[in-house]
Structures are given as C-alpha cells and as structure tokens.
Amino acid sequence: MIILALCLGGISCSPKFYTPNTQNTPMLQSKGQVNASLAGNGNQVELQGAYAATDHIGVQINGGLFRPQEEDNGNGGSGNFLEVGAGYFTPLSEKVTFEAFGLLGVGDFENHLPSTLVARPESTGEIEAKIMRFGIQPGINYQTSKFGIGLSTRITNLSYSDIKGDLVFGGIDQVALLNENSSNLLVEPALTIRGGTNKIKLQLQIIASLNTSSSDFRQDDGTMTLGLNYNLN
C-alpha cells in the first residue's frame, strides 16, 4: 500500500522517492463477497479489503506503512499511503474472472540522510512531500477453492506536492530534482499467487514498476510481498 522514499541498504544510501505497494487483487466472483489481505516485507506492512456490492461492482480500500530499518549512519525514510477504488468484475468461465478498478490514493514520505551533512553541513539532509496517485488496474484471475493466480497491471499517474527540505546528494539538489519530476506515468505489472483453504490462503505477490516519464527517476523498480488472504463468499 504504500509509496515512500526508501533506503534499501549500503553505507551511502541514496534517496528514493517511490516504492510500489502491493496491488489489491480481490478476485471477486459474486455479490456479498468479502476479501481481505495482510501483506508486507521487511520494509512495509499493508492492510487491504474489498467488497462485492453487486454481482459486477466491487469496491476496495488499501492502507499501509513504510518503516524500513535505518542504516548505521542514520540514513532512512518513512511513508504512509491510503487508497480507495471502485470497479467492475465478471466471470469469463467457472474459474476465470476479469476485474478492473479505478484507484485514487494519497500519502506522504520523508527521507533523512545525515550522512550528506559531511559534505553539506549547511543543509538539513532531509526531504519530504505529499503524494497523489490515480489510475486503473485491470487484471485476469484463475482460482479454485484452494488455489488462485492473478495477473494485473496498474497504470497510474504519480504526482508530488508540498515538496520541502534541503537535501543535496551527489552534488544535486534533490528538492529541485523532485520538483522537476513531480508528475510521472507508471506501468506496474504484478503476479499474485495464493494457496491454502477455501477461506484463508498464503499470498505471494511480485511487482515490477516502470516509470515511462523518467527512466532514471529515484524509485524502486519492483518489490515482493508475502501475506495472508481471507475470503468470505
């Protein structure tokens, strides 16, 4: 669920302005169905829910926190994200369904890199901003009572506002850099695999994130999350 500036490791951790959150792929089939997931990895935790309001209309809500462990030199970051969506689903066969959701999310992030103060003691070594993301997420799913697999692609516009701070990294003003790249078009394919009982399944999701606006934008190109999925028909 979350978007955030994130340091993934190394003594000279560099700023990052985006990490893809887990895609909510509820694999709805009929009116009244409830689907929920708790997912994450060592850097993030996310809670997602979806409800089939009719036999073809579904709604979803997603939230999450990014709290990666700081580096030994104090470099790190954090973020928060909340997203809502509504969409259409329909069975293509007994075990195959199609779904497409429109999504709108808001959040914020911060990076703090005190290691940069050695070269720039007059700066704060920090950057923060608010985030908005909106777009669509179509997908196709195959599922049985004990197994499910889904392919989805999230296509969104990611924008930043209220950008603040004073962070210079690699000789570049990161606040100015983010202002220059404050709007980005993302294409994010994902593979979701679930297995377990009719109601509770283990979930694995692998996500790639392609920034079509700026190939060298400071972001993670993908992530993987594990979790539990609950389904109530």
The SS3 assignment for 114 reads helix
Q: DSSP code of 74?
A: S
* pLDDT tens-digit series, residues 168-178: 999 999 999 99
**Gap between the Cα atoms of 89 and 3, Å rounded:** 26
The domain ranges of the chain are 34-232
Superfamily of domain 34-232: OPCA outer membrane adhesin/invasin (2.40.128.100)
**Gap between the Cα atoms of 221 and 187, Å rounded:** 11
Report the pLDDT value the prediction gives residue 232, as an integer from 0 to 100. 87
Where on the phi/psi map is residue 139: left (φ > 0), alpha (ψ -120 to 50), or beta? beta
Q: Which of 201, 223, 230 is nearest to 23 (CA)?
A: 223
Q: Using the predicted structure, report yes or no on whether residue 217 has a pLDDT greater than 80.
A: yes
**Gap between the Cα atoms of 196 and 39, Å rounded:** 15
Report the pLDDT value the prediction gives residue 233, as an integer from 0 to 100. 78
Structure tokens at 152: 């989805």
* pLDDT tens-digit series, residues 121-156: 999 999 999 999 999 999 999 999 999 999 999 999
* pLDDT tens-digit series, residues 1-11: 444 443 333 33
DSSP E strand stretches across the chain? 34-40, 44-52, 57-66, 76-91, 96-112, 126-143, 147-165, 168-169, 172-173, 183-196, 200-208, 210-211, 222-232
**Alpha helix (H) residue ranges in the chain:** 174-180
Report the pLDDT value the prediction gives residue 14, as an integer from 0 to 100. 85
Q: Which of 159, 149, 228 is nearest to 192 (CA)?
A: 149
Backbone dihedral angles phi then psi of residue 179, each to the nearest 5 degrees: -60, -35
Give me the residue label for tokens 């462990």. Answer: 69
Structure tokens at 214: 């700026």
Mean pLDDT to the nearest integer, 83-95 = 97
Q: Which residues of 167-200 are buried (b: 16+ CB within 10 A; e: fewer)?
A: bbbeeebbbebbeebeebebebbbbbebebeeee
